[in-house]
Structure 1
Amino acid sequence: MDLLKKKILAEGSVEEGNILKVDSFLNHQLDVAFLNEVGKEFKRLFEDREITKILTLETSGIAIASIAAQYFNVPVVFAKKIATKNLDKATYESDVYSYTKGRTYKIKVSKKYITSDDRILIIDDFLANAQAALGLMDIINKAGATLEGIGIVIEKGFQDGGELLRKQGINLKSLVIVDSLEVGNIKFR
């Protein structure tokens, strides 16, 4: 997606530890007009799939998934990282390691919101080591639902997550794949 590449080059920056900082438009401050184009692109990429729900992980995936959901005309379900008093007791759970936070989270989704009849599209902002995707896939499997695909805004191609998912036969579509990150130099596949 050329528009995304241009946006990353214009507004993104590379931080120590292979961190691509795109918080000015993707995961802190949101450029809604731009995210609307991202949502349209996910619809185009997965238009041949029968999607009943979009699943993501709080927090960064929620805005992207919500905007994409309007094109699929389906609800968004997001896995919670933090247990709250208003979360149902009957949940599907999985453990997810966060590279950027350096810790493991227990993610939870209420059993009311994913059933064996669901055909799910996972959408998230980044794919690096696939830990978030694997945790969400685990929840889908526990629910007996069907994974229709995974849509990623930015894949770090120099990390093993994309290869791991593709080897499993997952229908993975990344809007851009970054092959290397160096301060002042971002290379796309």
Structure 2
Amino acid sequence: MELLKQRIIKDGHVKAGNVLKVDSFLNHQMDIGLFSEIGKEFKRLFADCDVTKILTIEASGIGIACVTAQFFNVPVVFAKKSQSKNIDGEVFTSRVESFTHGRVYDIIVSKKFLGPNDRVLIIDDFLAKGSALEGLCKLVGDSGATLIGAGIVIEKGFQEGGERVRSHGVRVESLAIVDSMNDQTGEVFFRD
């Protein structure tokens, strides 16, 4: 998606340790106009899949998932990173490691929001090592729902996550795949 790539070049910042900061428009301050274009593109890519629910993980994926859900006219379910008093009843759980935060989380979704009749599209902001996406895929599998695929805004193609998830037969559509980054020059290079 050329619009997204140009925005990454213009407003993204490359930090040491393979960190791409896009917090000015994607995952802290959110550019809703850009999100709308992202949502339209995910709808185009998955238009024929009869999606009934969109699944994401808190927190950065929620905004993108919500805007995308408007184009599918379906609800969004987000996996919480901790048990809270407002989650009652039985839950599906999975363990994920966050590349960004360097922590391991148990993610949780109430069983009343995912089930065998659902056709689930996963939406997330980043794909790096793949742990979050694998954890979300596990939740879908445990629920008996059908996993349609995953829509990723930015994939770090030089890390193993995308390849690993695709090797399990999951359809992954990434709108911008970063092939390499240079923290000295700030340059970002994309896969065509």
In structure 2, the partner of 1:134 is 134
5 Å matches for 1:70-149? Answer: 70-149=70-149
Secondary structure of the residue aligned to 2:66 is helix
Q: For residues 150 and 63 of structure 2, what CA distance do their matches in structure 1 show?
A: 16
Tell me the CA shift for residue 152 of structure 1: 0.1
User: Would you say 1:177 and 2:174 are equivalent positions?
Assistant: no
Alpha-carbon distance in 2 for matches of 1:172, 1:63 = 19
Does the residue aligned with 1:117 lie in a helix, a strand or coil?
A: coil
TM-superposition CA deviations, 1:82-132 (whole Å, max 9, x none): 221111231000000001111100000000100110000000000011100
TM-score, scaled relative to structure 1: 0.98
CA–CA distance in 2 between the matches of 1:162 and 1:131? 10
Letter in 2 for 1:4: L
Counterpart CA distance in 2 for 1:31 and 1:120 is 25
Shift of 1:142: 0.8
C-alpha deviations, 1:41-83, integer Å up to 9, x for none?
A: 0000100111000000000000000000000000000000022
Matched, 1:168 2:168: yes
Name the structure 2 match of 1:13.
13
* Identical-residue share of aligned pairs (%): 58
Mark the runs of 5 or more structure 1 residues left unpaired by the alignment: none
3-state DSSP class of the match of 2:47? coil
CA distance in 1, matches of 2:108, 2:167: 26
Could you say which residue in structure 2 is the equivalent of 1:188?
190
Q: Partners in 2 of 1:113 and 1:37 — Cα distance?
A: 27
One-letter code aligned to 2:116? S
Aligned to 2:36: 36
Which secondary structure state, in structure 2, belongs to the residue aligned with residue 112 of structure 1? helix
**1:140 CA displacement:** 0.7
Once residues 91 and 120 of structure 2 are traced to their aligned partners in structure 1, the CA distance between those partners, rounded to angstroms, is 17
SS in 1 for 2:150: strand
* RMSD, matched Cα: 0.7
Equivalents in 1 of 2:89, 2:158: separation in Å?
A: 39
Question: What does residue 22 of structure 2 align with?
Answer: 22
CA separation in 2, counterparts of 1:89 and 1:181? 45
After TM superposition, the runs of 4+ consecutive aligned structure 1 residues lying more than 4 A away are none
Query: d(CA) in 2 for partners of 1:52 and 1:154?
Result: 24
How far did residue 159 of structure 1 move?
0.2
